Amino acid sequence: MYCIHAVKRADVSVSEREGSLLEQCTDLKKRVAGFALSALLILSQGVVVSQLFIPPLPAHAVTNEQLLYLEAWRAVDRAYVDKTFNGQSWFRVRENTLKKKKLTTREDTYEEIKSMLKSLDDPFTRFLEPEQYQALKGATRGDVTGVGLEVSFPSSSARDKSGKAPLLVISPSPGGPAERAGIKAGDEILQIDGLDTESMSLYAAGNALQGASGSSVILKVKSSSKLNMVKEITLTREKINIKGVDFGDCVAKPTSKRVGYIRIASFSKKTAEKVREVIEDLKNKNVEYYILDIRNNGGGVFAAGIEVGRMLIDTGDLVLIADSDGVRDVYEAEGEALDTKTPMIVLVNKGTASASEVLAGALKDNKRATIVGENTFGKGLIQTLVELSDGSAVTVTVSKYQTPNGIDINKKGIEPDVRLTGEELEQIPLGPDKFCTFITGDEPLVDKILA
């Protein structure tokens, strides 16, 4: 049997469905009482026809709680990148839960879904309760109240013998409370308000960091520097207004050439449109260099990174999408680039992650830009977000990406062409005004950047 459902272009954080399959296939739901097909990540636009296997109807009635659990289970079953499911029988996981666990309340169901996903040992495949899902959707629009941190937990290989690990900072939001307090990418959050983060779930930690504007939170932070200093920092939560794209132009003193500076802090649905306007503006000003600054850009909307790449690269591959069976999709340039000639320098650091790594890898492998900085974060995984019928959702790692040259950067990052130390990168200010002051001065580091 076939069921037709529409999906939008996928991205790193969110792949929105035009409605749950349960709603679109009402008659099918009646026939299959306990099974629902979750959204399938599709890396192209349009309408997709996907085949749905109809298992025999169970002899006993299936409760609403079991049905919700099965929705989450099937989302992973159909799309998860690792078809060994971390070396376990995924069917057995389902059967053991349905036969041995009492799913009598919604809280019971949520806990079993979390337990099921935890068994995959993948910090990016996780469950979102309805309010968490709404918060995530708000984050893609830039509506966040908190301390301005993107965080995650390390994989099992980076944990201690007990399997525990503290919260890891991927990137601080530029200008946010955490960045102003000196928290940097790679730092570890040991405690939030006195509670050890190694015993928290990712979303419990996220909830603890967010809160009402004006309220305070105390973090115990271990520095990623060689000193490994541990200190307590009190932060005041505020609305994090993420200015996704900012730009300016000035004349660099060492070269006497006009430089167009473009700062992309995160990738959202509006990023590509804004960057297009910026490039057109800078072209009209006859800039002779671009400085693309994606330091501490933790990613965001995958498609936005691709669209920016297409503005700068006219032909060739941008990113390869692979799963456990190998490369299965390729994103390519479309021959409609705005500028393929103006020399470009891309500034990266270990806070450059996900969609921003896709862009950096495309620019490097296509020899369109020189990458300057340090190794990027190394998040080479792509997730889709599947909304469940009660308004909750699961994020599922569905594939991994490789650079056009076939390099898998997960946990490794993009290697820079020109390497700077962390201390040197900190000397380079973020934002057009401060950057232009820096590049028009007598800083020796400017020669190294523009070499």
Instruction: Please state, in angstroms and rounded to a whole number, the distance separating the CA atoms of residues 442 and 86.
Output: 54
171, 268, 354, 356: the active-site residue = 354
| C-alpha dihedral (324, 327, 333, 339), degrees to nearest 10 | 70
- Is 224 annotated in the active site? no
364, 379, 392, 400: the active-site residue = 379
- Is 118 annotated in the active site? no
Residues 334-338: contacts with CB under 8 Å, at least 24 apart: 334/310, 336/310, 337/310, 337/311, 337/312, 337/313, 338/276, 338/279, 338/280, 338/283, 338/311, 338/312
| C-alpha dist (Å) from residue 392 to 12, 37, 114, 126, 288 | 18, 15, 12, 11, 49
Instruction: Please state, in angstroms and rounded to a whole number, the distance separating the CA atoms of residues 398 and 95.
Output: 23
Closest CA to 186 of 216, 218, 158, 147: 158
Pairing relationship of beta strands 46-51 and 2-7 according to DSSP bridges? antiparallel
Residues 423-432: contacts with CB under 8 Å, at least 24 apart: 424/448, 425/295, 425/347, 425/349, 425/373, 425/374, 428/347, 430/174, 430/263, 430/293, 430/295, 430/296, 431/174, 431/246, 431/263, 432/246, 432/247, 432/248, 432/261, 432/263
Instruction: Please state, in angstroms and rounded to a whole number, the distance separating the CA atoms of residues 406 and 327.
Output: 9
Instruction: Please state, in angstroms and rounded to a whole number, the distance separating the CA atoms of residues 269 and 9.
Output: 11
Question: Whose structure tokens read 């989450």?
Answer: 72
Closest CA to 233 of 219, 222, 223: 219
431 secondary structure, DSSP code: S
Active site residues: 354, 379
